[in-house]
Chain A
Amino acid sequence: MVSEILRHIIRFIVLVAVQGLILKNVEPLPGLNPFLYVLFLLLLPVELPGWLGLLIAFVTGWCVDMFYGTPGMHTATCTFIGFLRPAVLRFIAPRDGYEFGNQPTMQDMGRTWFFTYTITLVFAHHFVLFFLEMFSFREFFYTLLRIIMSTAASVLLITVTQFLFYRTKSGTT
């Protein structure tokens, strides 16, 4: 249990640092920004209480904002993800519910479930984030294009990261 918490904390530090120090400066196409740190929120335990998820998301956003120098922007976005995550988990739950100790990973839950989960939340995250950045619905379609492109990039990154670090972890695959 303690090692589980520790693993989450290390993941938090690594992902936020990678986001804030490396990915912040990566813009492969103009207007395209991948956000890998969402993976930390995605990988929180399924049975995590809602209020704790909200608080963790709030703090995560706050930390990323410190790197980006945009107080409130990622905080608001992550809080929204913290709010949305339990609902999404409920919505795409397997017929007989989650088994205890299930992690929301491709290895534990299967490819279809994982992509549904990831794409939904990453898209929601990017949607809120980019529109908070614009703070208006002018250039709506340009912003939407940015959101879709960035979502694709982020999902790709997240999937690759999953393969890199979780391939043999559970030993059940």
Chain B
Amino acid sequence: MRNLIVFLARNYFFLMFLLLEVVAVFILVRSNPYQRAEAVNSTSEVAGKIYAVRNDLTGYFNLRDQNRILSEEIARLRNLQGSAWLNTANKEIAVNDTLYRQRYSFIDAEVIDNTVTRRNNYIVLARGKNQGVREGMGVMGPNGIVGIVRSVSPNFCTVMSLLHKDSRISASLKKDGTFAQLLWDGGDYRNATLKEIPTHVKLVKGDTLVTSGLGNAFPKGVFVGVISSFEKKAGEKTYTAQVLLGTDFRKLQHVSVVNNLLKEELEQLQNSIPDDDGK
């Protein structure tokens, strides 16, 4: 005790300085936001470094557990992921209007399988009978037509792509309405062929081609492509044109299925026309 008093007495000046300085710095840090933030920052930085070193050391001991937990977590997340589920929500919208009768409704669909390299290409969509898809409906993408529904299961449907040997789409020139048949000769998936264009039509490279509305599959005026070149082959009386298709079949992801609400009525009417040849 005596020694302590002697020590204090001998160093009173330094101890007093220390005391006052600590008080001053305490006031400084407590009442100035900037200094407080800096002080907290540097302390937490030091603490953070210590924690980091400790974690480096202890991290190895529970790696096995951590791996198990992570793989369980991954499996759980995979189950939650959208791709594990089939979206069957029906977004088809029907409009009731007494003046205009709705003729087409559209069912959105996701492409789940698609080929472009074969001679006969098919697309599979995640929409089927339960969502209102029927055989013979047209399918169009954001940039143009895609194909015709060929077969339907409860939740899926197969679409005969435009890139198919038997694909016949009735297309017309936007500028004068002349219609002709669009088909695919194989080869490049970006190009199709437009056949039997009458020669009196003044074709220009770059002419826009839209659906004609004939054949009940597509509404009239849906973009198909543009004419990239045309020629009149020797011995033929019509032009044959190459069409750059609007739809990039390699990038196809979301399409709409065209539901022609008046199709049955129209088909009944067409069937009632007496068949001239059958008479």
CB-CB under 8 A for A135 and B27, given A54-B20, A58-B20: no
Interface string of B1-37 (1 = CB under 8 A from A): 0000000000011101100110111111111101100
Known: A72-B32, A135-B38. A58 touches B13 (CB 8 A): no
Scan A131-144; emit 1 where CB is below 8 A from any B CB, else 0.
01011100000000
Residues in B with CB closer than 8 Å to A51 are 12-13, 16
Residue from B14, B17, B35 having most chain A Cβ neighbours under 10 A: B17
Q: How far is the CA of A80 from the CA of B21 in the complex (A)?
A: 7
Interface centre among B16, B20, B26, B35 (most CB of A within 10 A): B20
A82 to B23, CA, bound (A): 15
**B34 pairs with A135, CB closer than 8 A:** yes
Interface assignment of A71: CB less than 8 Å from any CB of chain B: yes
- Residue A154 lies at the interface, judged by CB distance under 8 Å to chain B: no
Give 1 or 0 for each of B230-258: 1 = CB within 8 Å of chain A CB.
Answer: 00000000000000000000000000000
Chain B: CB-nearest residue to A78: B24
Q: Which residues on the B side are within 8 Å of A71 (C-beta)?
A: 27-28, 31-32
**Contact of A75 with B24 in the complex, beta carbons under 8 Å:** yes
Please indicate which of the listed interface residues A61, A73, A86 has the most CB atoms of chain B within 10 Å of its own CB: A73
Known: A51-B12, A79-B17, A79-B21. A136 touches B28 (CB 8 A): no
Q: Does any Cβ of B come within 8 Å of A15's Cβ? A: no
Residues of A within 8 A of B14 (CB): 83
Size of the A side of the interface (Cβ < 8 Å), in residues, is 21
Dominant secondary structure at the B interface: helix
What is the interface of chain A mostly: helix, strand, loop, or mixed?
helix
Which residues of chain B come closer than 8 Å to A132, judged between CB atoms?
25, 28, 35
Q: Which of A35-89 contact B (CB under 8 A)?
A: 50-51, 54-55, 58, 61, 70-73, 75-76, 79-80, 82-83, 86
Report chain A residues within 8 Å CB of B24: 58, 61, 72, 75-76, 79
| 8 Å CB contact of B21 from A55, A76, A86 | A76
Contact of B13 among A50, A61, A76 (CB under 8 A): A50
Report the separation of the CA atoms of residues A76 and B32 in the bound assembly, to the nearest whole angstrom. Answer: 13
With both chains docked as a complex, state the minimum distance between the C-beta of B16 and any C-beta of chain A, in angstroms.
6
Using known A-B contacts A132-B35, A135-B35, A135-B38, determine if residue A75 contacts B28 with beta carbons closer than 8 Å.
Answer: yes
Distance of A134 Cα from B38 Cα, bound (Å): 9
Q: How far is the CB of B214 from chain A (nearest CB, A)?
A: 76
Smallest Cβ-Cβ distance to B25: which chain A residue: A76
Can you give 17 A-B contacts (C-beta < 8 A)? A54-B17, A58-B20, A70-B32, A71-B31, A71-B32, A72-B32, A73-B32, A75-B24, A76-B24, A79-B24, A80-B17, A83-B13, A86-B13, A135-B35, A135-B39, A136-B38, A136-B41
Q: Which B residues form the contact surface with A (CB < 8 A)? A: 12-14, 16-17, 20-21, 23-32, 34-35, 38-39, 41-42
Given A54-B16, A135-B38, A136-B38, 18 further pairs, Cβ under 8 A: A54-B17, A54-B20, A55-B20, A71-B27, A71-B28, A71-B32, A72-B27, A72-B30, A72-B32, A75-B23, A75-B27, A75-B28, A79-B17, A79-B20, A82-B17, A83-B17, A86-B13, A132-B28
